[in-house]
Chains A and B, each alone.
Chain A
């Protein structure tokens, strides 16, 4: 029997494969990559009874139009997504997120758009048939590492699916309340003291706008100019996801999964781990505020975040 695969009839804006990410390569300049919204990535796998670290399809804004060839699968989509299932007989069903579906040969999934978010996830039961590079399936388009020669998917590409026999359909659901928050919690950065008192006041009390310059590397913000009274450059040093760098123009940049491994702009703050999914989903035009928390508070908030994720995973049935 021929292998099952998705034929890409429309690629979407930025369709890639992602998982938990690729570790232990920062020292050679390779970013971690991985799903921008780790919780939604994890939930998509649970909905199709996969191991939670299976690779999934990540899409942004407009997603792909996919036709299933040679097989029958279970799939699920997580995020805040508007999608339809077009059956072989051209009947159209409205898709619901956080719910598993059966897809037959020649059926199509039309991921029309994300709603109040940037990224969504498509998981199939059994996973995709892909090759791992350095312990991860994540596509890193900046260094061309991972499946599909490290490039985002384009028209007519194929995404192969591991062969599995569906004995009984998966029928799972999570009552997930997709919500966003415009308050982003941060811990003071290592160059916090480079900024004037006035800049710090503005940083915590005024709105920052998410500009159109948003991708998997980072988010550029626009707001009050943050005056640097020390030095607008530092000797390049390591970065992590969530670091907020402020270049000479005074507009902050938040680092996301594909960020450069080192950077030379002062770090005013770092988004706490529990808020990284939220930050990654922010859409252009949104206004956000920063709130300072201590390291201890951040660790407690992360514990609550993990418990919350586990609660959804356990509720899935």
Chain B
């Protein structure tokens, strides 16, 4: 449930679902997101330009020439959201090559976490992850939660260019750099799989909020021969 609604500037509504990060709170954010998306598609509400769901917030941007904060706030307060039990969430499997030329930060991780590379990989690949949100750069999924023994802070100095496909971890989260971009996550490997596809107009992001993701390890040969 939305705990508090406030304005983010004069062109957005800030819906706060709480301060914790967990699947229950996030599921509620995603339910609101799906519900409002449907109402926008069916033209039940006008002037909304974007919905930005995250771990525990939903930002609703609007066109100030068409609507305003008060109208959108009243609309949100008047909604009845049912738990979306038969949502279309998917289970996705993503290949990762963790050879040292792709896993850029194993020396840092083994030192900080005080466990060896094999153990990090075992703990990383044995879990199924939940997609809390997609964003920052196009198609980048924010996944969680990592095993407690492989949680590590961001790099002290972010890289100016993360290679495309880099699979990173930080705190309780994992992600994938869908484009070459600046970034500060610890990189454990690289995926040859297309995570963002701008030719797929209906669903450009492979991983969407609410999806379950598991990773599996591939060899460098598999990586280089990957064909989609």
Contacts and interface: CB of A to CB of B under 8 A. Distances in A.
A26 interface: yes
A145 B201 CA distance: 11
Interface residues of A, number: 43
B143 interface: no
A89 to B, nearest CB: 44
B9 A27 contact: no
A187 B40 CA distance: 27
Contact of A145 (B58, B134, B138): B138
Contacts, number: 146
Contact of B65 (A238, A239, A260, A306): A306
A3 to B, nearest CB: 25
Interface residues of B, number: 47
Residue with the greatest number of chain B CB neighbours at <10 A, chosen from A23, A27, A190, A270: A27
Contact of A30 (B11, B33, B138): B138
Interface in A67-81: none
Contact of B10 (A29, A133, A262, A295): A295
Contacts of B142: 236
B150 interface: no
Contact of A238 (B19, B52, B139): B52
5 contacts: A24-B50, A142-B137, A143-B196, A236-B54, A243-B8
Interface of A: 23-30, 32, 133-134, 142-145, 150, 186-187, 189-190, 235-243, 260-263, 267, 270-273, 295, 298-299, 302, 306
Interface of B: 6-12, 14, 19, 21, 33, 40, 49-59, 61, 64-65, 68-69, 133-140, 142, 178-179, 181, 196, 198, 201, 204-205, 208-209
Given A142-B137, A237-B56, 8 more contacts: A27-B33, A27-B208, A30-B138, A237-B59, A238-B54, A240-B12, A263-B136, A302-B64
